[in-house]
Amino acid sequence: MSKASSNDNLSYISQDFGTTRLSSPEPAAVHVSKWQHFVDSFKPAEADHSSSENESLDSLEKAVQKTAKSNLKSSINPVSQAFIALGGCVGSGLLVVSGQALNAGGPAGILIGWAIVSSFLYCVMQALAELSSTFPVSGAFAVYATRFVDPSFGFAAGWNYAMFWVVVLPLELVAASLAIEFWNSSINTVVWVAIFYVLILGLNLFGTAGFAMTELVASILKLIGVVGFDILAIVLICGGGDAGYIGAKYWHNPGAFSHGFKGVISVLVTATYSLAGTELVALTAAESSTNPRIALPSAIKMVFYRIIIFYMFTLTLIAFLVPYNDDRLTASSTAFASPFVIAIQTGGITALPSIFNVVVIISLLSIGNSAVYGFSRTILSLAEQGLAPSIFTYVDRNGRPLVGFLTSAIVGLMAFVAASPKQGEVFAWLVALSALSTLFTWASCTLGHVRFRAAMKRQGRPLSELPYLSKTGVWGSVYATVCLTVILCLQFWVSLFPLGADPDPVVFFKNYLGAVIVGVFYIGHKLYYGICKKKWRFVVPLDTMDIDTGRKETDFDKLQQELLEERAALRAKPWYKRVYHFLF
């Protein structure tokens, strides 16, 4: 027997034009069990060796390159992105805390406050649409602040945003568990905290797809709940409830304003808090399954309808249904104080308060789900920029920033202080850590946009290179930045001299601690790099600013051709399809 035939389990003889060749067989397929596949999914994702790190680059240039390459999975579809923008972060800010805003500002004050905040939020989101469709990088606005404004500002804004989300998880868990008490549940609150804790972390173990699907379902339920309430509210205002015809009665007695100008100022901060998280959709750019230049602007269009349907129209109805001096508005911080529930109860409808409380719970859990996603992606981006410990760059084979996820889970255990008699004090200070976070986050978006456009102009680059242009332009971002700065200053005044009370240092720091922390982060980072690294730089120079790394579209001629073809195809469609495209 020949050597080849005696080892036919390892090799085989093939004939090729009379020549005998010894070849290795194909390896047999190895069967991997589902359990082993699940275990292997937690192993680190394969490193990208397509480009080696250039040691001649400075720290900012290295940070830009690292955030442009990500191991995150592209698994969020346009429908999920649209619903994340539409209703993803509608939660306690609108459904519960709006009652405190009504008490502080009155019906006219609450509408003025939300209108002002909504006007510059739209500018913020348009700026984000332009930046995130051009640079769909890991971390989105946390990166834009670093590369377009200043690394120290990016450090402060990024850590501020990470702290916001890591604190939100335990807050929402406790709020959801307390909402159960609406039904006089005899089950200990801690049990519900544990159930909700396991549920949220379990959903996030499914990775980006789990987050997107959860937000899609939750947003649909919230949309149905709010629209259903709006229809009911119109009926109640017109006299369909036990209170009879209401009309504009509460605008005359007790009146349109509660605490005058200071009351309206306090509403501005509450409105900002209620709209916090709207920017989260930009974080999905790096995980979009569709070209971000198409998916992101379309999703961000939904923000306009979110403002109109969820906030302005709904709050107008609330302003007609509930007087600002109703004692129930300040009785608690749970569903009992929700102006929605109060309006339904006053109308004499017995079953609907319970149904709407379910909507409140779903909203709170949805925010908790977003908190895990928001923190893990933000801390990953900070680590990639060298602004957080490198251990946070760990992304597993399923695209999950695993260390960020585990950190969020550990901090989430703070929710179990719900069993402590000091829970109110603990959570008051947790809220203080992130109370002003949104102001700095939105400012990082608008400042980054202004600086990016200035660099484009300085370097002689045409705007035709951009796949999407902000509808509000640079001046919209300037307007938003000025508004955010003014609100920050006015909040200092309201914190120093609170409504109906004398100055109190504890009250001041509970309201303004977030700004102090951001200032400490900024100054600390600036001093570290100035003293230890010998790099004193207060802003990224426009001439040398990197406005190319991380772009999705790099062939500008091809991009222009595609845009022209898309516009021509749109013009050829029937008028109703053009209207639909314009609106959605």
Q: What is the pLDDT of residues 255-286, one digit of tens each?
A: 888 888 888 888 888 888 888 878 877 777 66
199 domain residue, yes or no: yes
Residue 299 tokens read as 């999703």
Average pLDDT, the chain: 80
For residue 12, the model assigns a pLDDT of: 36
For residue 71, the model assigns a pLDDT of: 66
117 domain residue, yes or no: yes
What is the distance between the alpha carbons of residues 312 and 113, in angstroms, rounded to a whole number?
10
For residue 584, the model assigns a pLDDT of: 63
Q: Does the pLDDT of residue 5 top 90, yes or no?
A: no
502 domain residue, yes or no: yes
Count the domains in the chain. 1
88 domain residue, yes or no: yes
CA 252 to chain centre: 38
For residue 94, the model assigns a pLDDT of: 81
Confidence class for position 335, pLDDT limits 50, 70, 90: low
Q: Are the CB atoms for 246 and 237 separated by under 8 Å? A: yes
Q: What is the pLDDT of residues 285-320, one digit of tens each?
A: 666 666 666 777 777 777 777 788 778 899 999 999
Q: Does the pLDDT of residue 326 top 50, yes or no?
A: yes
- The CA angle 108-109-112, to the nearest 5 degrees, is 85
25 domain residue, yes or no: no
For residue 31, the model assigns a pLDDT of: 65
For residue 181, the domain's CATH number is: 1.20.1740.10
For residue 573, the model assigns a pLDDT of: 82
Q: What is the pLDDT of residues 432-466, one digit of tens each?
A: 666 688 888 899 999 999 999 999 999 999 888 88
The pTM assigned to this predicted structure is: 0.83
**3-class DSSP assignment, residue 276:** coil
64 domain residue, yes or no: no
Percentage of residues in the chain having pLDDT higher than 70:
80
Lowest mean pLDDT among 5-9, 31-35, 517-521: 5-9
Q: Does the pLDDT of residue 236 top 50, yes or no?
A: yes
What is the distance between the alpha carbons of residues 505 and 514, in angstroms, rounded to a whole number?
14
Q: What is the pLDDT of residues 389-416, one digit of tens each?
A: 889 988 887 878 899 999 999 999 988 8
Q: What is the pLDDT of residues 524-578, one digit of tens each?
A: 988 887 777 677 778 889 998 888 887 776 667 777 787 787 778 878 888 877 7
Max CA separation in the chain (angstroms) = 108
Average pLDDT over residues 201-210: 85
For residue 482, the model assigns a pLDDT of: 95
Quick one: which H or E segment has residue 14? strand 12-16
Q: What is the pLDDT of residues 476-492, one digit of tens each?
A: 999 999 999 998 898 88
148 domain residue, yes or no: yes
What is the distance between the alpha carbons of residues 171 and 161, in angstroms, rounded to a whole number?
16
Domain boundaries, position 505: 73-533
Q: Does the CA dihedral 419-421-424-425 come out positive or negative?
A: negative
Confidence class for position 6, pLDDT limits 50, 70, 90: very low
Q: Does the pLDDT of residue 95 top 50, yes or no?
A: yes
11 domain residue, yes or no: no
Of residues 559 and 160, more confidently modeled: 160
**3-class DSSP assignment, residue 126:** helix
154: Cβ–Cβ under 8 A, 6 or more apart, which residues? 142, 143, 144, 145, 146, 147, 385, 387, 444
Q: Is 392 exposed, middle or buried (0-12, 13-18, 19+ CB in 10 A)?
A: buried
Q: Does the pLDDT of residue 73 top 50, yes or no?
A: yes
DSSP string covering 469-530, please? --TTHHHHHHHHHHHHHHHHHHHHHHHHS-TTS---HHHHHHHHHHHHHHHHHHHHHHHIII
For residue 7, the model assigns a pLDDT of: 43
Of residues 9 and 173, more confidently modeled: 173
